[in-house]
Structure 1
Amino acid sequence: MMSRRTALSLPAALATTPALAVTESRQSWRDAARNRDLPMLLRLPDSGGAAPLVLLSHGLGGSREGLGYLGRALAQAGFAVLHLQHPGTDDSLWRSGGDTRLALAAAVTDASRALDRILDVVFVLDTLPRRPELAGRLDLSRIAIAGHSYGAWLVQTMLGQRVPGGDRGLALPEPRLGAGIALSPIPPQGLPARLAMDRVRAPMLHVTGTEDRDFMGGNSALSRRIPYDNIQAPGQVLAIFAGAAHGSFADEPGTGARWEDSAYHARTAALAVAFLRSLWLGDAPARHLLAEGAPEVLEPGDMIESKGLAP
């Protein structure tokens, strides 16, 4: 299906070329080794050639349809985007009826489901070179991972954040991932923050809000900056939007106003586009926008800070 959706309004510094048309396809990829089917949503920019790839991971109770604003903006800016849906921590937790809060609590405290998420990413990375329809369309030397909430935890973990109990035989940080975008970052649990974050080496964009609290993990808005504060690697950017809550970044269809509110979507997408374009596409205006504190993106009360950005 060809999509020619209206692009999010990006700052003039990022709108130097027209938004690309995007081809969307919904697929299911089967991991036979785990007897597990993964729903996928693939967005490919109609730019020709091999595009850098961004993997998108939804939060607890989400789906491949979530984070749509981010997937569309990145694809229109020249990045291939693959939305992963993680069975066991997806929208089946609330669509099947019953006590939703209990189902969500059971899922988020189940270590096997956290491991499933990690293995989902490993499976996708292993599978990408073998997908004939993607031959020549992806630059597999430039792959980023992005996610919201539980998806942000996955981003941080795949890029090297230590978790109690060790890596369970996995090769972490995942060497095929070169950058991360964490929306509503998750502070490390069970380990000192500096120890938990000290092997993260990839550039990361961290985005949160002054009201970004969640009822499952008890994480406060202030604690969302802990990963940024404790990663010593260069290329870190932290944005804090005034008034943004936990659901402000989710864009999860059918979940109600709190999770579908679009007030912060354009700002989040603009920063993500600038971050990856400056990192991988040699985009000088995007690099300048971040280095100058993104005044064209932020609104009154918002804050942005960075460390180790390339000049």
Structure 2
Amino acid sequence: MKTQRIWTTLIALAATVLLSASLSGCSAKASGLSPAVWQQHLNLPSVQQAEKLADNLDAQVTQTEFSWFDQSRQRTVPALLFSPKTTARPDHKAALLVFSHGLGGSKERYAYLGQYWASQGYYSLHLQHDGSDRKVWQGSRLLLPFRLMDAADESEALARVQDVRFALDQFLASDASQGVDPNQILMAGHSYGANTAMLLSGAQVEQNGQLVSLKDPRIKAAILISAPPFYNDQPLQQVLADVTIPTLHITTTEDEIKVPGYYSSPQDRLELFYAMASPYKVMAVFNGGSHNVFSGWRRNDETANQNKVIKAATQALSAAFIQQVISGDSSALQLWQQQHQAVLADFIRSDMLALR
């Protein structure tokens, strides 16, 4: 199998960003936009709605924890479900989002997304992947590189895909899924989790000299946040040729990763977007913000307002994309673009590509 280089690169780049955030406390580079621009955009409806939600979570969202055990793999798959407390109609079935965290993350780390999606009437199931979760940060720092290498093993990367399949099986068979429409399931993830989402959406890995698909047909669309590119002997277009579901790509102008002997530029996110075979795809590029801005980390430095705006805008954008996937109504997506134009470096839809 030639996937080892793929997973090692993905783990390394995610680890470096998270390590710098958790150990060194380095701040992100200043955005090209002035602090006054970000301050002004704190008054956007999406930001105010996010703050209101944070103050009234108990009234709008229910959180349920699960800990499923896969006997065939002798592996526990913890999960956290965010569900709406009320629905528009008692007989209404809602869409389900399944979220995969980045390296060193957890089922709670991206709660700001799950909480928001649930407040909009959707269900959001956040998984925790044993072997590449927050436990990698526990223990001696001197041994951290070895723990990261263990997490980089191809078996752990493929186990993430199996975690999602198994968790979906368990959840859909449980009483907790009674309000969920099994025909409206979306996959989402950040960084390493975005690659997990791509594999389940049809991206292929090379095994024994042939490309193999890990696609789950239950996944109807994907939300890919700061997705690193795949690296193997195949052209990116070939690796992604079977990703034909709608995809939303979210990144920033400073979404870069630096590791010894390797550099991934923000341009890599764009190249992945263009290579994606999805007939309908959307990309938002925020002006400023690091690779780690989407992970749920809270900052109290000069980038705090910028990060707050980007996270709230990501909440609203993803909800608008979900609405279009489910109903075909693009009005919310168009309104979102208009409201956030000042903080966007680029916004691309597949129907705009012919003009570029």
Is this a same-fold pair by TM over 0.5? yes
Go from structure 1 to structure 2 and tell me whether the alpha carbon gap of 1:108 and 1:170 turns closer, same or farther (over 3 Å shift).
same
- Larger fraction in helix: 2
Q: Kindly provide the amino acid, as one letter, of the partner of residue 99 in structure 1.
A: L
Cα-to-partner distance string for 1:27-71 (whole Å, 9 max, x where unaligned): 211112111111211011121432100001110000001112211
In the aligned structure 2, how far is the partner of 1:300 from the partner of 1:171? 37
Q: Which residue of 1 aligns with 2:60?
A: 21
Of the three residues 182, 186, 190, the one matched with 2:228 is 186
Identity of aligned residues (%): 31
- 1:189/1:108 Cα in 2 relative to 1: closer, same or farther (>3 Å)? farther
The higher radius of gyration belongs to: 2
Matched, 1:241 2:286: yes
Q: Which moved more, 1:77-86 or 1:46-55?
A: 46-55
Q: Does 1:32 align with 2:32?
A: no
Q: Given residue 72 of structure 1, which amino acid in structure 2 is its aligned partner?
A: Q
One-letter amino acid of the counterpart of residue 174, structure 1 = D
Deviation, 1:87, is 0.4
Could you say if the C-alpha distance between residues 250 and 38 of structure 1 is closer, same or farther in structure 2, counting changes exceeding 3 Å?
A: same
1:264 equivalent to 2:303? Answer no
Q: Secondary structure at the match of 2:121?
A: coil
Aligned residue for 1:148?
Answer: 190
Deviations 1:122-180 (A, max 9, x none): 1012222321232x211110000100000011111111112232799976321000000
**Quick one: which amino acid aligns to residue 135 of structure 2?**
S
Q: Which stretch of the first structure deviates more once superposed, 69-78 or 142-151?
A: 69-78
1:10 aligns with 2:46: yes
TM-score, normalization by structure 2 = 0.74
SS of corresponding position for 1:141: strand
Q: Is the 8 A contact 1:250 1:259 kept in 2?
A: no
- Going from structure 1 to structure 2, the CA distance change for 1:167 and 1:130 (only over 3 Å counts) comes to farther
SS at match of 2:264: coil
Q: 2:156 aligns with which of 109, 113, 129?
A: 113
- The aligned amino acid for 1:163 is V
Range moving further from structure 2, 298-307 or 57-66:
298-307
Could you tell me which residue of structure 1 aligns to residue 347 of structure 2? 304
Per-residue CA deviations over 1:198-234 (Å, capped at 9, x if unaligned) read 1110100001111112245632111111221012322
The match for 2:179 is 137
Q: Number of paired residues?
A: 294
Q: How does 1:194-233 map to 2 (within 5 A)?
A: 194-215=237-258, 218-233=263-278
Q: Is the 8 A contact 2:79 2:128 kept in 1?
A: yes
Give matches, 1:35-50, under 5 Å: 35-46=74-85, 47=87, 48=90, 49-50=92-93
The whole-number CA distance in structure 1 between the counterparts of 2:176 and 2:185 is: 18
Report the counterpart of residue 250 of structure 1 in structure 2. 295
Q: 1:165 to 1:68 in 2, by over 3 A?
A: same
The CA deviation string for residues 83-130 of structure 1, in whole angstroms up to 9 with x for no partner, is 000000000000233336514640453101001101001101222232
1:78 is displaced (CA, Å) by: 1.1
Is the contact made by 1:159 and 1:177 (CA closer than 8 Å) also made in structure 2? yes
Instruction: Give the corresponding residue for 2:3.
Output: none
The answer to whether the 8 Å contact 2:123/2:180 transfers is: yes
Q: Secondary structure at the match of 1:211?
A: coil
* Counterpart Cα distance in 1 of 2:235 and 2:179: 41
1:42-81 to structure 2, matched below 5 A, reads: 42-46=81-85, 47=87, 48=90, 49-81=92-124
Q: Where does structure 1 lack aligned partners over 5 or more consecutive residues? A: 1-7, 13-17
**1:150 is matched by which residue type in structure 2?**
Y
**What TM-score results when the alignment is normalised by the length of structure 1?**
0.84
Q: 1:302 and 1:80 mapped to 2: Cα distance?
A: 31
Letter in 2 for 1:207: I
Shift of 1:82: 0.4
Which amino acid is the alignment partner of residue 290 of structure 2?
A
Distance in 1 separating the partners of 2:149 and 2:206: 19
C-alpha contact 1:248 1:258 (8 A) present in aligned 2: no
Q: 1:4: which partner in 2?
A: none
Tell which deviates more after alignment, 218-227 or 98-107.
Answer: 98-107
The 2-side partners of 1:53 and 1:168 are apart by: 32
For residues 302 and 151 of structure 2, what CA distance do their matches in structure 1 show?
20
Separation in 1, partners of 2:309, 2:60: 24
